[in-house]
Chain A
Amino acid sequence: MRLSASIPEPNVPLPNILRNNGLLYWISSVDHKQIGIMYLCSSLIFFVLGFSEALLMRIQLAQPGMTLLSPELYNQIFTMHGTTMIFLVLTPMLIGFSTYLLPLMIGANEMAFPRLNAFSFWIFLFGGILLYFSFLAGGAPNVGWFSYAPLSEKNYSFSPGVDYWAISILLMGIGTIGAALNFVTTTLTMRVAGMSLTRVPLFVWMIFVNSFLILAAFPVLNAGLVMILIDRLLHAHFFTTASGGSALMWQHMFWVFGHPEVYILALPAFAIASEVIPVFSRKPIFGYEFIAGSTVAITLLSFGVWAHHMFAVGLGTTFNAFFAATSMLIAIPTGIKIFNWLATMWRGSILFSTAMLFAVAFLIEFTIGGLSGVGFALVPVDWRLTDSYFVVAHIHYVFIGATLICGFAGVYYWYPKITGRILSEKLGKWHFWLFIFGFNGTFFVFHFLGLLGMPRRVFTYPDLPYFGSLNLFSTFWSVVLILSFMVFIYNLFYSLKQGKPAGRNPWNAWSLEWLTNSPPDLKSFTEVPVVQSRRPLRDIRDSVQSGISALNETGVEHA
Chain B
Amino acid sequence: MPRYKIFMFFFLASEAFFFLALIIAYVYYSHPGGDLSATAQYLDFKRSALYTFFLLASSLTIWLVGRVSGNKKKFFRLFWISMTVILGLVFLFGQGSEYARLMQTDITVSKDVFGSAFFTLTGFHGLHVIIGLVVLSIFLLMTLSGRFRSVEKTVLESASLYWHFVDVVWLVVFSVVYIGAIL
Contact = CB atoms under 8 A, between A and B. Distances in A.
A237 B113 contact: yes
B180 interface: no
A243 B113 contact: yes
Contacts of B112: 237, 243-244
Interface string B1-29: 00100110011011111101110010011
B3 A238 contact: no
Contact of A220 (B6, B11, B21): B21
Interface in B63-117: 109-110, 112-113, 115-117
B20 to A, nearest CB: 8
| Max chain B C-beta neighbours (<10 A), residue from A188, A230, A256 | A230
Contacts of B13: 215-216
A253 B21 contact: yes
A197 to B, nearest CB: 14
Contact of A244 (B18, B113, B119): B113
A62 interface: no
A219 B14 contact: yes
Contacts of A281: none
A347 B112 CA distance: 67
A471 B29 CA distance: 45
A238 B25 CA distance: 9
Interface string A151-193: 0000000000000000000000000010011001100110000
Contacts of B109: 230, 234-236
B120 A246 contact: no
Interface stretch (A41-49, A221-229, A265-273, A501-509): A221-229
Given A185-B3, A223-B25, A235-B110, A177 B14 contact: yes
Nearest to A182: B7
Given A215-B14, A223-B21, A238-B25, A245 B113 contact: yes
A435 interface: no
A177 B13 CA distance: 11
A244 B32 contact: yes
A215 B21 CA distance: 13
A112 interface: yes
Interface residues on A, range: 20 to 34
B53 interface: no
Contacts of B14: 177, 180-181, 215-216, 218-219
A68 interface: no
Given A226-B120, A234-B109, A238-B117, A215 B17 contact: yes
Nearest to B28: A249
B22 A188 contact: no
Contacts of A245: 29, 113, 116
Given A216-B17, A223-B21, A238-B29, A185 B10 contact: yes
B124 interface: yes
Nearest to B23: A223
A9 to B, nearest CB: 16
Given A185-B10, A238-B25, A238-B29, A223 B116 contact: no
A222 B7 contact: no
B116 A237 contact: yes
Nearest to B37: A244
A256 B28 CA distance: 16
Contacts of B119: 236
A253 B21 CA distance: 8
Contacts of A220: 17-18, 20-21
Interface in B103-139: 109-110, 112-113, 115-117, 119-120, 124
B21 A219 contact: yes
B113 A238 contact: yes
A223 B112 CA distance: 19
B32 A219 contact: no
Given A218-B14, A224-B21, A230 B116 contact: yes
Contacts of A223: 18, 21-22, 25
A106 to B, nearest CB: 14
Interface in B35-59: none
B23 to A, nearest CB: 10
Nearest to A224: B21
A444 interface: no
A167 to B, nearest CB: 16
Interface in A195-218: 215-216, 218
A559 B32 CA distance: 71
A224 B3 CA distance: 30
A107 to B, nearest CB: 17
23 contacts: A113-B7, A181-B7, A184-B6, A185-B7, A215-B10, A216-B14, A216-B17, A219-B15, A219-B18, A220-B17, A220-B18, A223-B21, A223-B25, A226-B120, A226-B124, A230-B109, A234-B110, A235-B110, A237-B112, A238-B25, A238-B120, A243-B113, A245-B113
Interface of A: 112-113, 177, 180-181, 184-185, 188-189, 215-216, 218-220, 222-224, 226-227, 230-231, 234-238, 243-246, 249, 253, 256
8 cross-chain pairs, A with B, having the tightest CB-CB distances, nearest first: A236-B116, A223-B21, A219-B18, A235-B110, A219-B17, A244-B113, A215-B14, A237-B113
